[in-house]
Amino acid sequence: MALSTERWPELPYAAWKDTRDTLHLWTQVVGKIRLALTPWLNHSWHVTLYVTPRGLTTSPIPYGAGSFAIDFDFIDHVLRLRASGGQVRQLLLKPMTVAEFYEDVMTALRELGVVVRIDTMPNEIPDAVPFEQDREHAAYDRDYANRFWRVLLAAHDVMSHFRTAFLGKASPVHFFWGSFDLAVTRFSGRKAPRHPGGVPNLPDAVVQEAYSHEVSSAGFWPGGGGPIDYAAFYSYAYPAPEGFGAARVRPAAAIWSNELGEFLLPYDAVRTARDPDAALMEFLQSTYDAATDLAEWDRAVLECALGECGKVRVV
């Protein structure tokens, strides 16, 4: 039976938790390959994955005189490895252990002529074990993997439009496999206080480089590994200006989490809204407004109107 193409599908955390946990680790295997072979880019932007019309991709990874890419396809449920020389390897996404997935991916890379060694200890996951030893996580539900990707695709559309209204330094809309979230970040241009670090299984130097400058950041997180057991959109500032947690943001379902130090908007509140895209845009804009007004960013210099298709921005 064909999978639904619903834009904002249900994504109950309890129903897909095991698949979520396994997929998190699979994306780390793939992400660490990109990390090992790509020169460092500020704020770890060189390690991220990107949303595609079928799933997630590394984008081209340089290797020797050419390049290769690794793509998760959540429609056909395969992992494709493509080299610029024309070679292709394909792995079926199905219930299998992380250890099996890791071995199969490394074998496929060797068949493409790519030799790479990665740090096999997962990042940002408490009590993790190396990929080659993980025989616990092995779930893969095709329906929920597809739903997850469709949420990413819809969120990517809205977050990309939101990004067009900023003239300053801003990240792409990209997927961090460490924290397993889709994110977009805006920068004031000012340096930030040194971050204290302390993220599980992540060097403090990486966190401190990521937060070297003031940010207002937002994204989508599908739940798991933290104090909330539901999918949610988030928004935070670093450093958080005084009074940020007490700011009034929209829509009404948005809440402040003292434990996380960020605003949360439950995914179900967006999915069931009369206009989900507008509800998410309202959350992104109102939390950004609160952060930047309280931190006194130079908004007149940093901002512009939302982009329009086929219309050049007036200067």
- Domain termination site, one of 67, 101, 133: 133
Is residue 220 domain-resident?
A: yes
- In a shared domain, residues 104 and 176: no
Q: Are residues 187 and 101 in the same domain?
A: no
The 10s digit of each residue's pLDDT in 230-265 is 999 999 999 999 999 999 999 999 999 999 999 999
Residue 35: pLDDT over 70: yes
Using pLDDT thresholds of 50, 70 and 90, give the confidence band for residue 4.
low
Whether 307 is covered by a domain: the verdict is: no
* Domain limit, last residue, from 80, 98, 133: 133
pLDDT at 225: 64
pTM: 0.96
In a domain, 142, yes or no: no
**Same-domain status, 66 and 180:** no
- What are the tens digits of pLDDT across the range 159-217? 999 999 999 999 999 999 999 999 999 999 999 999 999 988 899 999 999 999 999 99
pLDDT tens-place string over residues 93-137 = 999 999 999 999 999 999 999 999 999 999 999 889 999 999 999
Residue 200 lies in a domain: yes
Residue 3 has pLDDT above 60, yes or no: no
Asked whether residue 100 falls in the same domain as residue 55, the answer is: yes
pLDDT of residue 2: 46
Task: pLDDT band for 61, please (50, 70, 90 cuts).
Answer: very high
Q: At what angle do helices 142-163 and 13-37 cross, to 10 degrees?
A: 60
pLDDT tens digits for range 272-295: 999 999 999 999 999 999 999 999
Residues 165 and 207 in one domain: yes
> Is residue 293 included in any domain, yes or no?
yes
Q: Is residue 4 part of a domain?
A: no
Minimal CA–CA distance to 93: which of 103, 106, 114, 79?
79
Total count of domains within the chain: 2
Q: Which of 158, 204, 203 is nearest to 184 (CA)?
A: 158
Whether residue 77 is found in the same domain as residue 199? no
Let me know whether 33 and 125 are in one domain: yes
In a domain, 227, yes or no: yes
On whether both 31 and 81 belong to a single domain, the answer is yes
Q: Are residues 124 and 211 in the same domain?
A: no
Residue 308 to residue 289: CA distance in whole angstroms:
21
pLDDT given at position 200: 87
Residue 76 included in any domain: yes
Q: Please say which residue of 99, 133, 167 terminates a domain.
A: 133
Instruction: Give residue 133's pLDDT.
Output: 98
CB of 201 within 8 A of CB of 128? Answer: yes
Angle between helices 142-163 and 276-295 (to 10 degrees): 50
Q: In this predicted model, what pLDDT tens digit does every residue of 145-156 receive, in sequence order?
A: 999 999 999 999
**pLDDT number for residue 224:** 82
Q: Same domain for 48 and 160?
A: no
Do residue 177 and residue 234 come from a single domain?
yes
52 vs 72, 157, 162, 205, CA distance in Å? 9, 11, 18, 31
Is residue 30 scored above 70 in pLDDT?
yes
- Indicate if 287 and 188 belong to the same structural domain: yes
pLDDT at residue 111, rounded to an integer: 97
**Which range of residues forms the domain containing residue 34?**
13-133
